[in-house]
Amino acid sequence: MEDIKKMIRNIPDFPKKGIMFRDITTAVKDPVTMKKIIDYIADEFKNEKIDYVAGIESRGFIFGMPVAYSLGCGFIPIRKPGKLPAETISMEYELEYGTDKIEIHKDAIEKGKKVLLIDDLLATGGTAAAASKLIQSVGELAGIAFVIELEELKGREKLPNDVKIISMAKY
């Protein structure tokens, strides 16, 4: 995975002083790196009989759609409130100062269907934990995939421990 890490640009002090931002735009603009990312995630879950890939807005869409295509399954967008046109179900989660919410269409996942959750980054784990609970409220969470994991923030501890969780570039 070192070749993937080399393609992720590090931007110090963004969005605020003391933060090292891991920028995936340099990785996704390179076709070889993008293919390696998609192929790796799809290969890790190819035997899980995934029905849907769910991507968290918005960078989870970048990786979720091509993984869904590769696995031959559907894609479900997990969005911020007010972005989906039909009836939704939502999950609220804690932020450092306050709360936020994510939503999916109420009819997005049929009972018993297996869903792979994808996002670009695992940091504190709040959004991914909320998305996991949202999926589990209507379907079966088959696994979670991230391109980047910031291990020191211990986000993995907030995620279900009974599903396969992968990350490619660990910092």
Residues labelled as active-site residues: 59, 96
Cβ neighbourhood burial of 146 (10 Å; 0-12, 13-18, 19+): buried
Instruction: Classify residue 79 by its DSSP letter.
Output: B
Spatial separation of the C-alpha atoms in residues 125 and 116, rounded to whole Å: 16
- CA–centroid distance for 62 within its chain: 10
- Type of residue numbered 156: R
Of 168, 163, 153, which Cα lies nearest the Cα of 131? 163
Tokens at 94, concatenated: 């804690």
